[in-house]
Amino acid sequence: MQSQFQCCNKSKLTNNYFCVKCFHLFHKSCQERVKGLITIDGHRIICSDGCAQDITTREQEHEDEKNKLLKTINDLEVRMLDQERHIALQQKQFCDLENDCLEMEKRFNNEVDSYRQTIQKLQSQRLDMLSTEQNLIKGHKDELNECREELKTLKCVLLKHRTHKSFKYRCRLFQNLLM
C-alpha cells in the first residue's frame, strides 16, 4: 500500500497537516522536522518556497482579478444608474404622452357631443319645417278644395244665366278686366 503522506512512508492518519497549494499531507512530527514549511494557521501549511511563491503569485492574481471585478462592478453600477435615469425619463415621457392622449380623447369626446347636439338641433328644426310645410300644404289643399267648390257653384250659375244678354256683357267686362 502506498503512503498518502509526502513526508514519509507511514500511512497512519493522525493529526495531519496539509499544504494549501499542492494539498500534500504531512504528519505533525514530520511537519516539525522538515525545514522550509510555513505554517499558515491550524493544520494549514505551505510545504516549500515554490508553493509559497505560487501562493504569492496566486494571491497577486486574485488581487488583480478582485480589482478587475471591482472595476467591472463599478462600471456596472454606473451603467445601472444611467439606465435607471433613462427609465425614469421614459416613464415621465410616457406619463406626459398618456396625459396628452387623455386630453385629446376628452377634447374629441367634447367635439363629438357638440356635433351630436348640433345634429339633434338640425333634425328637430327639419322636423319642425316638415310639420310647417305639411300644415301649409294642408291649408293650400283646403283652399284649393274651396276654390273648386266655388268654381262648381259658378259653373252652375253660369249655365243657368248663359242665355241672358246682360250676363254675356258682364262676362266680357270681367274678361277684359282680367287681361
For residues 28 and 14, is the Cβ–Cβ distance under 8 A?
yes
Cell numbers that stand for 23 in this block:
494539498
Cell numbers that stand for 24 in this block:
500534500
> SS3 of 141, please?
helix
pLDDT digits (tens, 9 = 90+) for 28-37: 777 677 777 7
Q: Report the amino acid identity of residue 28.
A: K
Phi, psi of 127 (to 5 degrees): -65, -40
pLDDT digits (tens, 9 = 90+) for 103-123: 999 999 999 999 999 999 999
d(CA 12, CA 30): 13
d(CA 20, CA 112): 83
Q: In what order do the strands lie in the sheet with 38-41?
A: 25-27, 16-19, 44-46, 38-41
Q: Report the amino acid identity of residue 124.
A: S
d(CA 88, CA 166): 110
CA 16, distance to chain mean position in Å, is 68
List of the chain residues with pLDDT < 70: 1-14, 31, 49-58, 158-175, 177-179
Model pLDDT, residue 1: 41
* pTM (predicted TM-score): 0.41
Helix, strand, coil proportions of the chain in percent (round to 5)? 75, 10, 15
